[in-house]
Structures are given as C-alpha cells and as structure tokens.
Amino acid sequence: MLRYLVQRVIYMLITLFVVVSATFFLMKIVPGTPFNSEKLTDEQVEIMNREYGLDQPVPVQYLNYMAKTIQGDLGYSFQFNNTPVTELLSERVGPSAFLGFQAMLVGTIIGIFLGVVAALKQNTWVDYTSTFVAVVGKSIPSFIFAGLMQYYIAVKLGWFPVMFWEGYEYSILPTIALSMFPISIAARFMRTEMIDVLNSDYITLAKAKGASYLQISVKHALRNALIPVVTVLGPLAVGLMTGSLVVEQIYSVPGIGEQFVSSILTNDYPVIMGTTILFAALFVFVTLLVDILYGIIDPRIRLAGGK
Amino acid sequence: MADKDMKLTRDMFEPVSVNTTKSEKIEKPSLNFWQDSWLRVRKNKAAIVSMVILVLIVLMAFIGPLMSPYEYDKQNASHSNLPPRVQGLEDISWLPFDGTLEKKDGTIVHPYEDRNIENYYWFGTDSLGRDLFARIWQGTQISLLIAVVAALLDMLIGVTFGAVSGYFGGRIDNLMQRIIEVLMGIPNLIIVVLMILVLPPGIIPIIIALSITGWVGMARVVRAQVLKLKEQEFVLAARTLGESTPKILFKHIIPNMFGVIIINTMFSIPNAIFFEAFLSFIGLGLPEKEASLGTLVEAGFRSMLAFPYQMIIPAIMISLTMVVFNMIADGLRDALDPKMRD
Amino acid sequence: MEKILEVKDLEISFHTFGGEVQAIRGVSFDLIKGETLAIVGESGSGKSVTTKSIMRLLPESNSEIKGGQILFDGKDLAKLKDKQMQGIRGKDISMIFQDPMTSLNPTIKIGKQIMEPIIKHQNVGKATAKERALELLRLVGIPNPEQRFQQYPHQFSGGMRQRVVIAIALACNPKVLIADEPTTALDVTIQAQILELMKDLQKKIDTSIIFITHDLGVVANVADRVAVMYGGKIVEVGTVDEVFYNPKHPYTWGLISSMPSLDAKDEALYAIPGTPPDLLNPPKGDAFAPRNAYAMKIDLEEQPPMFKVSDTHYAATWLLHPDAPKVEPPEAVKRRMKKFLSEQEGK
C-alpha cells in the first residue's frame, strides 16, 4: 500500500509539472497581449512588460515562473490592480467549494437512492423512470438546466433569487443545476453495481440463511454495491468543476469558475494559469483521495496490501 | 401419466435406430455480428425511437436551412427579435407559434402587427433579424459535423494507440501507458480551454481541441481489449500459422472489438456536442457569424429575459440531440457488450 | 422410515425471451430422516433447480412453480409466503453452494456471517451467538477459531471457506441440509476432506442431506440412495447398491460407463452421444430416446412411467415393460460397472 501510494504521489507531481509547463508555454504563444488597450503608448507597454518580466527570454521566464509556483506564488493579476493571483483565488474558493460540496452531496445521495430503488424494482416502471431521469440528467448540459431554471423558477415564478450570492437561498438553484450530473452518473452506476451484487452467490447464501428482504438489501447488498461507487467520485468532481464554470457565470456566483471565464475573456494570463494549476491540482488530489478512500473501505484491498 | 389407457401394442416395442447426429444439429441459423447485434438492439424500444428521431434531426440539419425562405446569416435589422409564427398554427393560442410575445410584466405584445411585418418566421428571429429556423438547423449541422469528425478522430487515434500499446506490450506499452496516465491526470476542460485560447477561433480548431483529449478513453478501452484478445487461442493460432502482425491486428483482433469501439464512439459524439456548446458558453466558441447549437444557446441566453424563445428553442434542440445520442449509445452498449450477453 | 421431506409431481418453468422453459417436468421423491440422498445428472438436467425450489431460492421474476407440492413438516413449501419461508431457511433447511470463493460476503467478517442465522433464528444474544459460532468453527475443523472469527473471507483458502459455509449451514442444526455440488470447485484432496467432514457431521447432528453432484464417485462415497435426473425428470431412483449394481435405465448405464477409472488405459472412455434435450420444446416421448441406442418406437411416442424394480428401486424406461425385448447393458458397460464396483469395495 505504501509503495503504491508513493508511486501515485510521484505521478501526481509529474502531472502537475506537465500542466504547469504546458500552461506556461501555451500562454506564451497566445495571440494578443494583456496590455492592448489603445490608451497605452508603446513606451508604456514596454515599461509594463519589463515590470512583469515579459521582456526576458522565454526560458528565463519559465524558470522564474516555476520557481515562484513551487513557492506558492502565482504572480499578479493584470486586470485587478495587481492583486496577487493566490489572493484573488482564495477569496473565491469559498463559494465554489460550498456549491461543489453541496451539489456533490445532494447529487450522490439522490443518485444512489435512485439507483438502489431501480435495482430492487428491476424492470418495473420505477426502474424505467429512474433510468430515464438518469439519461436525461446525463445528456442535458448543466448550463441548459441552469438557464431554464433561472428563467422559469427564478424569473417567472420568483421562488428563488435570480442571481448573485447573498445568502443560502442563492445557492439552491446553482446546486440543483450542478447536481444533475452526479445524480445521473451515481444512479446508473449504482443500479449496475446493485444488480451485480444482488445476483451474486453470497446474496443467495444470505437468503438461504433466512435473512429478510430488508436485511439482504441493506446489510448485504447495499454495502458491497456502495464500495465501487467511490471510484466515480473522481469523474464526478471533474464534472462539477466543468459545470461550475458556466453555472457560476449564469448565476453570477463569485467563485473560481466565474473568475476563470472572465479572465479568459480579458486575457488575464496569470489568473488563467493560476486557475488552471489550481484545477489540475484539485483534480489530481481528488483522484488520489478516491484511491486511498477505496483502499480504506474495501477490506479486500485494505488487507491484501494494495492491488 | 398422460393417457394411461392408451393401448400399448407389441409392435411399439420394436427397436428403432436412432440417429444421434440428428440431435446435435444446430437449430438456429447462424448470424453474423451485425445481424446478431441488430436483433439485440431491436428489442430496446428507447434506442429504436431515438434512432428514428436522430435520422429526422440529421435530415433536417441538411434540408432545414433550405426549407426556410431566409438565409441563416442574412441580417435584417427591421425584423429583429420577432417571436415564432407559423402559417396555420397562428390562430391556436396555446401553441407558441402565434407570433405574440409575453413581456415580463405579463402584457402581450404583437410585434408582427405592431411593425407591419407580413413574413412568417417559424422559430422567430434573433437580435440581428436573422431567421432562427434556418439558424437552428444550420447550427445542428455544424454541431453534428464537429462532433462526428471529433469522434472519428478520437476513434482513429485511440484505436491505433491502444492497439499498438496493447499488442506490443513490454517497454513500448509501459511508456505509452505512462503518457496516458499523465494525460488522464489533467482535466479535459483545462486542455480544451488552453488549446482554444491558443488556436484561432473556428470549426477546425475546436475539432482539434476536442480530439486532443478525447482519444485517451478509447485508447485505454482498446488496450484492455487487445490484451485480452491477444492471449486467446484464435490469435495464437493465427500467429502459429505465420500471419503478419498488422494482419493479425486488423483481421483478427480489431474486428472482435467493433462493439466496444462503436459504443465508445457513440458516447464521444454527445460529449463533443457538449464541449462545443460549453466553449461557446464561456466565450471561446465559434465566431458570431457562424451558427452552432452552442453559439445559439449562448446568444439566446443573453436575450432570455426579453425573448425567451431565443433560448428555449436551441436549448430543446441540443438537449434532444444529446438525449437521443445517449439513448442510442446505451442501447448499443446493452446489445453489443459481450459482458451483458446471456 | 420417517419421511422428512416429500416432493410430489413438482413442475417448474422459467419464462425467457425464447418462451417457456420447462426445467422440471413432474419430479417426485422423498427424503428419509437421517439419510443422504444423492441427485445426479448432467448440467441442465434440473437437479439444482429442484433443490433451489425446495429453498424457494429461484428468482421470482422469471420462474414459476407450475404444479406439485413440497411437503415439509406438514407444510407445503411451494405455497408458503416469503415471510414464512424466511423462518424455515437456515433454520430447518439450509444449503451449501458450489463455489465457496463467491458464496461468502467479501465485506463482512467471517464471525458475523456465521452469527447471522443464529441471531435470526435462535433468539439469542450476541455473546451466546459468538460462543456458538466459535464452537461451529471448531466443529468444522478450522484452527485458531478466535483469530479466524475476526477475519474476512479473502483471508481464507477455498477449502477453508467451504468449511465456513458448512458451519453457517449447520448453525441452527437444520433437519435438512442441501449440498449443491459442494466439492466441485475444490481440489481433489480438499474434496475428500470436505466429504469426510460432511459424513462425520451428519452422524453428530443427525440431519438428512440432499447431495447434488455429477460425480458418481462422490455418490458411492456419501449417499444412501441415488436419484438420477435427466431432462427435468427423475429417470431412476434406488439405493446406492441398486443403482450401481443393477442399473435399469440406459441413461444410468451411460453415466456409469462414462466414468474414468485409473486402470482403464486400454479402454476408450465411453461418451453418451448427442446433447441434452431442449426443454424449451420438450420432446413428446422419452426425452432420452434420441440418445438411446435401445430406443423403441414407443419411446418416441409416449413418456415412460416409473416401473418398479424393487420396493426401493424404480426406473422410468419402457425397457422394463413386459412387452419390451430383453436387453442387457452392453458388455463394455458391464465390465466398467464391475471394475467400478470392485474399486468402491476396495476403499
């Protein structure tokens, strides 16, 4: 297990290194400079370039950037009055983390419930409905949900605030929009796993012991079916990150996603790079966490000492 | 048991010769892969309905822009923001095709009458007076084109990479797997966004950006399949008989993976449609003049409060297309995945 | 001769895409207190389905008991509600399955899995149940039971797991124990150990056993009586001696002569020609007729009834009809039978 962990951490670092380098070089060949405002004279642009170190040869810039990144310094935003990128991002982590966590929680719980019910009532209308919800939830992009809900529920019915971030009720519509994806993925995965488990020999043995329907479904089947669900948490987290970009934008939530989109539109390179690195780090970290979690939950892996 | 009273005559106890080979006759006609698959897919009603809808969507994507009397990119400032109106349906008030528009405060306006416009715009017009009917189908065409080309590229790269990695194994495989592992570690979103930032806006850059990330999943699945198949007896037999490596790969191994490859490709099409729309939504999509489902949804979203139809129609189109593709892919997976065979 | 379980004219069908599969077509047998009844037959003959139906473990979604009775303790199990059935499963009738690798829940500790039926059926506290579970582990020959109690199934070998499954089955001293090919998935040496264990335990706790197998060697070893199944029916039933020394049904001849033996190197192994019948469209006459070298016209027309050979020995073949020509089992078969019998006696 330890060896496996070390190996995983090394991969994690390589991945991050590749992301940071790729981001840096890609940013270098992007057309357009952040200082393309017509109000600035050439001389002013040159001064600013020097100030930001943009006049140095690219390899030097790269080394500087790497050194700073390792120290946790992601540079300064071009657009926001030289605010450090880390400060800018840390201000915005709160709403994003809150939304993401809430959507993940709501989504997986509802999804697992739907999947289990569908498996227990296999090939009945309950199953078909749950499967249909899952396909629709997976198919329709979160920004369509977000947009339609904003129009019908917030604007027309007025049940929830249309946008902004001024209280708990502001988080409800974005959460629903974001949780559609986890709901459908968890429901489909859970259904398959549960059916698999219900058909396994140890469930027959549990029946042969005289265990009741409830005991079998909860004590024997659910537990075993839940374990592999941990493996989809990683992809779900990525789905949420993707979704958060547009959902935060639609509901004007002051989160990382909204920041990312606006910095793309304003060519604010340091912020784009910072956000990219943050996303990649988060992703790699979640994947690792899922792996460890899986090892802890499944006794076969835990005690056999890793796969 | 049955009729005990039946008379048993002596002659009934004469031996008969039994042809034992008869009982080993194969009763069912043997079906090839495609016939067998089709039999299975046919049982899935949702997939069949989806296929019919998809055919209609594809047909309309090509015929639609021609059906409309207006060009999809022709601007007409005096006809801007007209709600949908269809000949014959305009008098049925509960259908949304009567050419009226409900404002936010609940009052109903009649832009066609107010502005003295005789024309019929079936899906209405956008803020530049372009016909949305033509734009929707044109957009569907572009979105489908992007998605299909991206999915095919994914397939090509993924199958090649996966097959080479899986078949040759050893150090080649090791190296290729490490590359995949690092690529898997980077969220798609980031790669796509970075690629789009670097490349000039347009259809081909979007396809490239989508393909750069899309093939990894296919490569992994194909590699796993190749690893499994290459150990099987028919491949060993082919090798013993001296078949060349490419011939073994293309004649023996890859045909056995058609199912998996098709399923994967079918899932990557809606994924590509999603990413195209997503990029438009965060301002990295096609240039404004072009129409794709993504740019239409995005433009519609901006004017949603005043002219909801501009958002709702493309939203329905993109959702329908995605649902249909996913349903077909699900149906194919159930039908083609050998794991689920009875 | 107290009958503990009586199966009468049992008919079971499965509903599949292709139509109705008549898996069991009128099966009747008794289980006598304290005996071991072996049910033998090839795959698909219906032996597992029969026993699963006694436990009512067939999937409700696609299987149906179309007729017949399963009488146990004055109740017809075929008509019991699932709730009532839960009180019988694991308490009065319990079951051992074929594959010990998959029949234990991988995420629950061994001890807890053994305690489950004890707590469920015997109304005792956890401490008592644990005592009993440890006792059972000792009984089935698992060393260090206290330590093993806390372990997960993957820490056990196949043979050890099957011992655990047996311990679970015996937890409540069942009146009937159904063993569905309990040794098929195990190594030969482990097989012998498990068979010995079962014989030993049967003496200790005085239970009746239904033993399903396709291995005639195992049958001769453990069983008192044998029922041979073919095509969803019992074609021959009798004591072990009767069925092995004096088989009447051509299918039984085939089974016995297809058994490999150590000194048979000069002899080709006999194989019953053809394939088992398609129970989706069961044949009109005797299901074995198409594979039977002694088939008569009537075999193709009428299903044979059970002819009585002795008080305990019955066989369903028209060859036993007084009008039928007298046929002897083929020489090769007889020789192999003799060889087999002398081997068994030598043990």
Radius of gyration of chain A from its Cα atoms, rounded to whole angstroms: 24
pLDDT at B1: 41
Query: Could you give the C-alpha distances from A228 to A110, A196, A223, C154, in angstroms and in order?
Result: 17, 12, 10, 17
Higher per-residue pLDDT: C267 or B277? B277
pLDDT at B300: 82
Structure tokens given for B220: 């992994």
Q: What are the sequence ranges of the domains in chain C?
A: 3-223, 229-345
Mean pLDDT of the residues in chain B = 79
Whether chain C has a CB inside 8 Å of the CB on A166: the answer is: no
Same topology, domains C3-223 and C229-345? Answer is yes
End-to-end CA, chain B: 35
Whole-number Å distance between alpha carbons of B340 and B272: 27
Whole-number Å distance between alpha carbons of C227 and C236: 6
CB atoms within 10 A of CB C203: 9
Whole-number Å distance between alpha carbons of B142 and B59: 13
Structure tokens given for B233: 């007896």
pLDDT at C345: 62
Examine the pLDDT at A32 and tell me if it is beyond 60.
Answer: no
CATH of the domain at B165: 1.10.3720.10
Q: Do C88 and A210 touch (CB under 8 A)?
A: yes
Percent of chain A with pLDDT over 90: 1
Give chain B positions within 8 Å (CB) of A18. 182, 185-186
Residue B247 to chain A, least CA–CA distance (Å): 35
- Confidence band (pLDDT; 50, 70, 90) for C155? confident
Q: Do C297 and B27 touch (CB under 8 A)?
A: no
Q: What are the sequence ranges of the domains in chain A?
A: 88-268
Pick from C94, C176, C115, C121: which is nearest to A212 by CA? C121
Tell which of A30, A140, A199, A278 to mutate to test the B interface (max B CBs under 10 Å).
A140
pLDDT at B69: 75
Q: Do C116 and A211 touch (CB under 8 A)?
A: yes
Compute the average pLDDT of residues A111-116.
90
CATH superfamily placement of domain A88-268: MetI-like (1.10.3720.10)
pLDDT at C337: 66
Q: Which of C87, C107, C108 sits opposite A210 (nearest CB)?
A: C87
Examine the pLDDT at B270 and tell me if it is beyond 60.
Answer: yes
Cα B87 → chain centroid: 33
Structure tokens given for C8: 């009468």
Whether chain B has a CB inside 8 Å of the CB on C288: the answer is: no
Whether chain C has a CB inside 8 Å of the CB on A217: the answer is: no
Whole-number Å distance between alpha carbons of C257 and C249: 13
Whole-number Å distance between alpha carbons of A138 and A189: 12
In the CATH scheme, what is the code of domain C3-223?
3.40.50.300
Q: What is the pLDDT of residues A34-84, one digit of tens each?
A: 555 555 666 766 776 666 666 677 788 888 878 777 777 777 776 666 777
Examine the pLDDT at B124 and tell me if it is beyond 80.
Answer: no
pLDDT at B156: 92
Percent of chain B with pLDDT over 70: 85
Q: Do C296 and B13 touch (CB under 8 A)?
A: yes
Give chain A positions within 8 Å (CB) of B193. 264, 276
Examine the pLDDT at B169 and tell me if it is beyond 60.
Answer: yes
Whole-number Å distance between alpha carbons of A173 and B107: 27
Q: Which of A205-209, B31-35, B60-64, C151-155 has the lowest mean pLDDT?
A: B31-35
Q: Which of A202-216, C60-74, C318-332 has the lowest mean pLDDT?
A: C318-332
Q: What is the pLDDT of residues A128-141, one digit of tens each?
A: 888 888 888 888 88
C105 to chain A: nearest residue by CA? A202
Residue A224: CB partners within 8 Å, gap ≥ 6? A197, A200, C105, C106, C107
Q: Which of C289, C291, C297 sits opposite B14 (nearest CB)?
A: C297
Residue B210 to chain A, least CA–CA distance (Å): 14
- Confidence band (pLDDT; 50, 70, 90) for A306? very low
Percent of chain C with pLDDT over 90: 2
Pick from A146, A172, A154: which is nearest to B281 by CA? A146
pTM of the predicted protein model: 0.77
Q: Which long-range contacts (CB under 8 A, 24 or more apart) does A72-75 make?
A: A74/A270, A74/A273, A74/A274, A74/A277, A75/A270, A75/A273, A75/A274
pLDDT at C332: 62
Compute the average pLDDT of residues C46-75.
85
pLDDT at A156: 73
The HSE-up count of residue A22 (CA atoms within 13 Å, CB side) is 20
pLDDT at B149: 93
Higher per-residue pLDDT: B70 or C96? C96
pLDDT at A307: 31
Residue B4: CB partners within 8 Å, gap ≥ 6? C305
How many domains does chain B fold into?
Answer: 1
Cα B254 → chain centroid: 22
Whether chain A has a CB inside 8 Å of the CB on B198: the answer is: yes
A120 to chain C: nearest residue by CA? C61
SS3 C64: strand
Pair B120, B85: CB distance under 8 Å: yes
C293 to chain B: nearest residue by CA? B18
- Confidence band (pLDDT; 50, 70, 90) for C261? low
Residue A34: CB partners within 8 Å, gap ≥ 6? A78, A79, A266, A267, A268, A269
pLDDT at B148: 92
Compute the average pLDDT of residues B144-151.
91
ipTM above 0.95, yes or no: no
Residue C54 to chain B, least CA–CA distance (Å): 23
CB atoms within 10 A of CB A51: 11
Examine the pLDDT at B3 and tell me if it is beyond 50.
Answer: no
* B160 in any annotated domain: yes
Compute the average pLDDT of residues C183-189.
79
Pair C239, C225: CB distance under 8 Å: yes
pLDDT at B153: 93
Examine the pLDDT at A9 and tell me if it is beyond 80.
Answer: yes
Helix runs in B44-131, H state only: 45-67, 111-114
Examine the pLDDT at C302 and tell me if it is beyond 60.
Answer: yes
Q: Which of A223-232, B119-128, C77-86 has the lowest mean pLDDT?
A: B119-128
Q: Which of A266-270, B14-18, C132-136 has the lowest mean pLDDT?
A: B14-18
* B127 in any annotated domain: no
Structure tokens given for B293: 């489902």
Whether chain C has a CB inside 8 Å of the CB on B25: the answer is: no
> What's the domain range around B183?
138-340
Examine the pLDDT at A286 and tell me if it is beyond 90.
Answer: no
Q: What is the pLDDT of residues A149-199, one digit of tens each?
A: 887 777 777 777 777 777 777 777 888 888 888 888 888 888 888 888 888
Give chain B positions within 8 Å (CB) of C314. none
Cβ under 8 Å to C: A residues 97-156: 122-123
Put residue A7 in one of left, alpha, beta given phi > 0 → left and psi -120 to 50 → alpha: alpha
Please name every residue paired with A84 in a beta bridge, in sequence order, or none if there are none: A76
Q: Is A284 exposed, middle or buried (0-12, 13-18, 19+ CB in 10 A)?
A: buried
Q: Which long-range contacts (CB under 8 A, 24 or more apart) does B45-51 make?
A: B46/B327, B46/B330, B46/B331, B47/B327, B47/B328, B47/B330, B47/B331, B47/B332, B47/B335, B48/B331, B49/B327, B50/B323, B50/B324, B50/B325, B50/B327, B50/B328, B50/B331, B51/B328
Output the DSSP codes for A150-171. Answer: IIIIIIIS-SS-SS--SSGGGG
Q: Which of B209-213, B272-276, B336-340 has the lowest mean pLDDT?
A: B336-340
Q: How many contacts, defined by CB atoms under 8 Å, are there between A and C?
A: 81
- Confidence band (pLDDT; 50, 70, 90) for B28? low
Examine the pLDDT at B305 and tell me if it is beyond 80.
Answer: no
In the CATH scheme, what is the code of domain C229-345?
3.40.50.300
Q: Which of A109-113, A161-165, C45-49 has the lowest mean pLDDT?
A: A161-165
Residue C8 to chain A, least CA–CA distance (Å): 22
CB atoms within 10 A of CB B236: 12
pLDDT at B341: 39
Pick from B84, B79, B70, B68: which is nearest to B122 by CA? B84
SS3 A57: coil
Residue C120 to chain B, least CA–CA distance (Å): 36
φ, ψ for residue C269 (rounded to 5)? -75, 130
Higher per-residue pLDDT: B338 or B318? B318
